[in-house]
């Protein structure tokens, strides 16, 4: 549990640094667009491609296809349940969409992958990314379209993250060796993902006054569901299947705090971002306690 806490707290400190630098005027919130672009177009795709290219073999898929099937099942259940739960949080349609998205999709892409690699190694990260595949499809189709008030479109799957995943799977299955120079570049780029993503979180949250983010009671109920109820419930059910790698992947993903898409996506259409900012702020602080607790209960990370 100590190791997990150290990893989580380290990431939190990067967010605190980003917040402090922004509030002190050292960096501008306008810089968040640069960091976001680097994450989406460079750091995260490099990490995804590197992991799939190194681990995705025919033998692996044959032994672990159940991970994706389990993820699909979890996503379907959450989509149905959270549709009703979100109605308990708000009567306003767009607010319900924000709450629903926050309950279904956590910050697995940046924080979850970083923790998985540091605690479970490359093989564990591969399992986590496999479990995340259906969630990624949801994020860039249903999630994006609902939060930006756009019609559903599969064209949103043509993005750097999904392309890196497909290309990495192809390279892994074919067995094409990645040149050492390219591999080195991708390894170093992947190492930037976690600190840059948390710096971005801190800078983005700094746009709002903390007292405004802390005064909404609904935030605490939703954060408790996001960080405790959801990972414990699904982790417990999946434990009945008796496959350790599926449980680890699910818990690592589902125990993460709320992400920044509920801030970034609403900005595209001029919607208020205070709900998403409040969820991100409170959940990232609470996660320093809840993630080590949940991981300890499922014996993840030692």
Say what the pLDDT of residue 268 is: 66
Split at pLDDT 50, 70, 90, the class of 67 is very high
Q: What is the pLDDT of residues 89-128, one digit of tens each?
A: 888 888 899 999 999 999 888 888 888 888 888 888 999 9
Residue 302 reports pLDDT greater than 80: no
The arithmetic mean of pLDDT across residues 183-197, rounded, is 87
Q: Which of 45-54, 146-155, 159-168, 202-211 has the lowest mean pLDDT?
A: 146-155
State the first-to-last Cα distance of the chain, in angstroms, to the nearest integer: 6
- Residue 140: is its pLDDT beyond 90? no
Compute the average pLDDT of residues 143-151: 83
* Exposed/middle/buried for residue 175 (C-beta within 10 Å: 0-12, 13-18, 19+): exposed
Confidence (pLDDT) at 84:
93
pLDDT, mean of residues 164-191: 89
Asked if pLDDT for residue 1 goes beyond 70, the answer is no
Nearest one of 57, 52, 55, 51 to 187, comparing CA atoms: 51
The highest-confidence range among 150-164, 206-220, 229-243, by mean pLDDT, is 229-243
Location of structure tokens 């002190």: 24
Per-residue pLDDT averaged across 246-268, rounded?
87
Q: Which residue's structure tokens are 């595209």? A: 268
Average pLDDT over residues 222-235: 95
Distance between CA 53 and CA 40 in Å, rounded? 19
Return d(Cα 174, Cα 61) in angstroms, integer.
13
Confidence of residue 263 (pLDDT cuts 50, 70, 90): confident
Percent of the chain whose pLDDT exceeds 90: 36
3-state secondary structure the chain: CHHHHHHHHHHHHHHHHHHHHHHCCCCCCCHHHHHHHHHHHHHHHHHHHHHHHHHCCHHHHHHHHHHHHHHHHHHHHHHHHHHHHHHHHCCCHHHHHHHHHHHHCECHHHHHHHHHHHHHHHHHHHHHHHHHHHHHHHHHHHHHHHHCCCCCCHHHHCCHHHHHHHHHHHHHHHCCCCCHHHHHHHHHHHHHHHHHHHHHHHHHHCCCCHHHHHCCHHHHHHHHHHHHHHHHHHHHHHHCCCCHHHHHHHHHHHCCCECCHHHHHHHHCCCCCHHHHHHHHHHHHHHHHHHHHHHHHCCCCC
Confidence class of residue 135 from pLDDT cuts 50, 70 and 90? very high
Range in 68-82, 182-196, 218-232 the model is least confident about: 182-196
């Amino acid at each position: 549990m100590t190791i997990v806490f150290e990893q989580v707290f380290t990431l939190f400190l990067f967010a605190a640094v980003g917040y402090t630098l922004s509030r002190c005027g050292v960096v501008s919130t306008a810089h968040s667009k640069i960091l976001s672009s680097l994450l989406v177009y460079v750091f995260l795709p490099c990490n995804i491609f590197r992991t799939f290219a190194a681990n995705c073999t025919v033998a692996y898929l044959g032994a672990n296809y159940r991970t994706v099937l389990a993820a699909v099942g979890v996503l379907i259940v959450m989509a149905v349940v959270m549709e009703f739960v979100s109605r308990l949080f708000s009567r306003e349609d767009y607010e319900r969409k924000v709450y629903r998205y926050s309950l279904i999709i956590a910050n697995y892409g940046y924080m979850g992958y970083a923790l998985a690699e540091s605690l479970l190694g490359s093989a564990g990260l591969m399992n986590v990314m496999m479990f995340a595949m259906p969630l990624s499809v949801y994020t860039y189709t249903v999630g994006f379209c609902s939060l930006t008030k756009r019609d559903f479109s599969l064209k949103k799957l043509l993005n750097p993250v999904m392309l890196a995943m497909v290309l990495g799977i192809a390279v892994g299955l074919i067995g094409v060796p990645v040149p050492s120079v390219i591999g080195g570049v991708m390894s170093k780029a992947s190492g930037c993902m976690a600190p840059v993503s948390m710096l971005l979180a801190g800078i983005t949250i700094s746009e709002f006054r903390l007292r405004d983010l802390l005064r909404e009671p609904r935030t605490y109920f939703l954060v408790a569901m996001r960080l405790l109820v959801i990972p414990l419930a699904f982790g417990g059910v999946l434990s009945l299947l008796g496959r350790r790698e599926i449980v680890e992947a699910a818990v690592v993903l589902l125990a993460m705090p709320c992400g920044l898409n509920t801030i970034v996506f609403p900005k595209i259409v001029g919607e208020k971002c205070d709900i998403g900012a409040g969820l991100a702020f409170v959940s990232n602080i609470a996660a320093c306690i809840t993630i080590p607790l949940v991981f300890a209960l499922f014996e993840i990370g030692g």
